[in-house]
Amino acid sequence: MDVLSQLQRQLADFLASLYREGFVDDQFTQLQKLQDESSPDFVMEVVSLFFEDCEKLVNNMAKVLEQQVVDFKQVDSHVHQLKGSSSSIGAARIRNVCIAFKTFCEAQNREGCLRCLQQVNHEHAQLKANLQSLFTLERQIVAAGGSVPAMQ
């Protein structure tokens, strides 16, 4: 198998594993479908926006949660935003943590919230690493003369 075919096979397998392990879902496929010649870096741009957003929200939530008196409404509104954006890009695991997170906010459970925040951080780091690998593979394919079609 030549280098290009090997890379393409690697990409397909890697992507399949991301779906299988729930890192991404159909909404991510949607994003890939939106990428085209007029915006070849669309997915990467949107994903970067998401990670920036996520970091900001996590920092804000951490600050609120370390107060003497926690404003759970504020935490909840940040979680709501994170849930929305993770949902928009198909970051399924993060979205799922947000669902649990919201319940803890409603129950005004600080410990539960802190645990969820930790989980969000963890998932954020994992997803970032995974998507970076994905983009690297795609770049290698393009460099080897191949093209990256919209994945089904």
Partner 1 sequence: MTLVLRFQIRLSYGRATFAPRTSSEQPRSIPQFRGLRVILADDDALNRTVTKKLLEKLGCEVTAVSSGFECLSALSSAENSVRLVVLDIQMPEMDGFEVATRIRKVRSRSWPLIIAVTASAEDNVWERCLQMGMNGMIRKPVLLQGMADELQRVLQRVGEGL
Which residue number, 3 or 34, has a Cβ lying nearer to partner 1? 34
Angle formed by the axes of helices 72-89 and 42-65, nearest 10°: 170
x-or-dash string of contact with partner 1, 37-56, rule CB under 8 A = --x--x--xx--xx--x---
CA distances from 142 to 24, 46, 88, 101, 123 (A): 23, 20, 27, 40, 28
Give, as ranges, the residues between 75 and 94 that touch partner 1 (CB under 8 A).
Answer: 81, 84-85, 87-89
Which residue stretch of 25-33, 62-70, 113-121, 140-148 sits at the interface with partner 1 (rule: CB under 8 A)?
A: 25-33
Which residue number, 22 or 84, has a Cβ lying nearer to partner 1? 84
Contact predicate 93/82, CB 8 Å: no
HSE at residue 116, side-chain half, CA atoms within 13 A, is 27
Binding site for partner 1 (CB under 8 A): 27, 30-31, 33-34, 36, 39, 42, 45-46, 49-50, 53, 81, 84-85, 87-89
